[in-house]
Structure 1
Amino acid sequence: MNAVIAEESVNNGWFAGARTGLGAMTADAVFLVCSLLGVVTFVERFPTVRAVMVGVGGVLMLYFAYGAALDAAGDTETVPTGGSTLPTRATTGFRKAFILALTNPYQILFWLTIGVGLLEPGRLDVLAYTPYVGADLAGLLVVQTGSPALIVGFFLGIVVWITGFPAALRAAQRRVAKFAPLVAGASALVLAGFGVVFLVDAVRTLV
């Protein structure tokens, strides 16, 4: 998500980056409601469904990586908009992040474990649920749960990040002439890397 936010921020401006982050946050809100209603448990109950979602997420990441690579190469198409030009993908950030989040089973798993757990009285080992490296991170971040204020604070933290992160990128971009291509290139590598990981994961599960 940060790779997508970064790409949108440096290519289309602060608002586009913040709007992209809002798309991811909206998906989190949807997952929170669905997890409280018990809907998303369906995904974890059926490995084939989870594998398909992982595969779709991997394909989307590779597709977005291709777009980021084009941006890094300076091959972004533009269309006239009221006498000026605007990248054709400038208005897709919110939709891109929202769809990518909805096809991410690890985000669903987060809300099945950490998200709902924040509302249940007790203690929660947050990093223990991290995909692939959870066992190594267990015990590093344990929080007291049971207050709705934790959920409110969680989303306020997201708001701070999705507004501050694009602002920091734009500030750096004003100081470094080649910053946008570098960020777009790095975003392409991150998205492509996770896309491959997701596809491998999906194939292994289905096989």
Structure 2
Amino acid sequence: MTSETDQTAFRHALAEVPGFIYHNGLRLALISLAWTLASLPLVTIGPVTLAAYVAIRDLRSDCNRIDWDNVWTVLRQNGVASALFSGIPVAFGAVAVTYGVTALRQGSLAGELVALMAAYVALYVALALIPTYVKLAHGTDPVAAFRYGVSWLAHHPTPALAMGLLTVVVLAVTAVLTIAFVLLFAGIAFSIQVAVVESVDERIGETTVTENSRRKPRASGRG
């Protein structure tokens, strides 16, 4: 049931993203531009990614506008945590590259194993951070948000991997032209990620409500 729900939610999310991008193209382009410029110091990638998630959630809301007060409020609350979280996959990725290069030069099996383990952890955390950042964008406590992200990845590995692959595809396509990357990558990639996470949660919630209603005991009808 969960697998079928995940697939349905994923397809639903992908179906709504093109229309969302079409109706918010200019604002998403500005979000992408701001994200690219603000990410240049590298250490700011976490907070600016969080800000982009909040802005995209605002555009997906009924108001369909960016609430800058909400963006700043979330950044003040979770900006530091987002910066720390973003450093985890980078750190493990650096370990993987360092040990991998050394192992190839020296022919060390132990080094190769460490590199593979570090690369796996980096990939796992990177995927878990997608739902984590969506939750942080809600203003959720950082610890609770990270637990949610890890749990979400464990329960929904298929849409998580699909999101990761789509993000890589969007990166590869937009990176061909520098201007396309600057104006399109963040807006498209983050729109897909937010849509998939929220769509899966909505579908799971609907399924849970339906199952609970079916499990309610029937009245016996006796006086």
**Bigger share in strand:** 1
In proportion to residue count, which structure has more helix?
Answer: 2
Q: TM-score, normalised by structure 1?
A: 0.31
**Larger Cα Rg: Structure 1 or Structure 2?**
2
